[in-house]
Amino acid sequence: MAVTKIKKITKKTAPKKITKKTAPKKITKKTAPKKITKKTAPKKITKKTAPKKITKSLRNKIICISHKEDNDGISSAALIRQAFGGDAILVDYPGQMEALQQVVTDEKLKSLFICDLGLSKKTQDEFIDILTTLRKNKISVTYIDHHDIDPNVVKALQKIKVKVIHDINECTTVQVYNAYKSKLNDHASFVATCAAITDYMEDRPLGSKLLQMYDRQFALISATVLTYNIVGRQREPDYLLYLVEELSESKFPHDIPNTYEFAQIQVEKLSQMIAKVKKGLKTMSNLGHMEILDAGASGAVNFVMGLSGKDVGVAYKERVDHGIYAVSVRGSKNCKVHLGRIVNILATDLGGSGGGHDKACGAVVPKAKIKKFITELNKKIK
């Protein structure tokens, strides 16, 4: 039943996607001619001797690479779009570096924003290398994030004049809002509020001020419905881009067609997940863990932690095509260790990658190493 319902909703929104996507294109077209007009003039002046200058002068593209798996990533991309225009590329952690390698080859790229994508021991060096190449090509690069980061990485990025906006105490969207408020409309504060709620950061200095502007229950239901639409539609990249557009155009989640109906389907699935976790859950001395087969690991991990009675929960799902497990880790309020840092080191040692926050993080672990990952994590969190 649920499956057919999803299909129906997808079909209903599809035509709307097409109609709405033409609007932003207009914006791109509006800005593009201006630049072309200005830049075609020097072409004539410099004549045919300087093809390199022509290539440079054609750089007019703005791209935002952002995290696709949660509200904070999607909403960061939406606010960047409202402030600067341009296109979003939405990625998960395994796809993060691939996307960066691709934009390096884009000869039209002028300005790049990277949002809500934390770095790990495994990825940080390559990240710096790619951004160095971009800076050599005079591309403006802004990195906005709130995940735990090696201070040496920040120094290296500042050295190559990447604009780094980084605060572990506010979610990425709130930081985007705070940095570019003057270019954003009033509704952007609501988009940021919902992102803060989803990232458990609505109690932080800026996040709490934003939440105060709105009715708490209204913000909570909006953030939650949006989150369920994002989490439940990870395999529909066009839908996620459509959400970025709708949010950048100041739509409330309830004004986006079928979002509440879709959320209803998701809560039904989640209630089934509770029953599955109760059956399949395994425990060790310091953590509960479970392999997830038919849903995302991140949707199950809170149940794994909660129902295990332990202070740490681990849920993992095989990505058959990648030969890896996507792992989600959560800690309770009683968990005193920094899970993001422990997981970063452990996953890297096992040939994967990972990291994140003190009580919520993730990892990519080679298929053969998942047992080792769990037993080692259990030892390290006493």
**Cβ within 8 Å of residue 158, ≥6 positions away:** 164
Q: What angle do CA 189, 246, 106 make, to 5 degrees?
A: 100
- CB < 8 Å & 24+ apart, contacts of 135-142: 135/160, 135/161, 135/162, 137/109, 138/56, 138/59, 139/59, 139/109, 139/110, 139/111, 139/112, 140/110, 140/111, 140/112, 141/111, 141/112, 141/113, 141/114, 142/111, 142/112, 142/113, 142/114
Number of residues lying near Mn ion (CB under 5 A): 5
Minimum CB distance to Mn ion, residue 268 (Å): 26
Of 131 and 195, nearer to Mn ion (C-beta) is 195
Give 21's Cβ-side CA count (13 Å radius). 14
One symbol per residue from 120 to 139: x for binding Mn ion (CB under 5 A), - otherwise; what is it?
A: --------------------
Among 13, 91, 116, 144, binds Mn ion (CB under 5 A): 116
Q: Which residue is at the shortest CB distance from Mn ion?
A: 72
The least distance separating Mn ion from the CB of residue 76, rounded to whole angstroms, comes to 8
**Looking at 42-50, 68-76, 263-271, 276-284, which segment touches Mn ion (CB under 5 A)?**
68-76
Give me the 159-178 binding string for Mn ion, x by CB under 5 A, dash otherwise.
------------xx------
- Pick from 59, 63, 72, 170: which binds Mn ion (CB under 5 A)? 72
Shortest reach from residue 146's CB to Mn ion, in Å: 6
Q: How far is the CB of 377 from Mn ion (least distance, A)?
A: 22
Nearer to Mn ion, 60 or 344 (CB): 344
CA distance linking residue 5 with residue 8, whole number of Å: 5
Looking at the Cβ atoms of 76 and 82, the one nearer to Mn ion is 76
Quick check: 69 binds Mn ion (CB under 5 A)? no
Tell me whether residue 57 or residue 172 sits nearer to Mn ion (CB atom): 172
Please report which residue ranges of the chain form alpha helices under DSSP H.
2-46, 51-57, 71-84, 96-104, 124-136, 151-159, 172-180, 188-198, 205-212, 216-231, 237-248, 259-280, 297-308, 339-349, 370-380
**Binding residue for Mn ion, selected from 199, 245, 246, 311, defined by CB under 5 A:** 199
Q: Which stretch binds Mn ion (CB under 5 A): 39-47, 112-120, 178-186, 350-358?
A: 112-120
Binding residues for Mn ion, per CB under 5 A? 72, 116, 171-172, 199
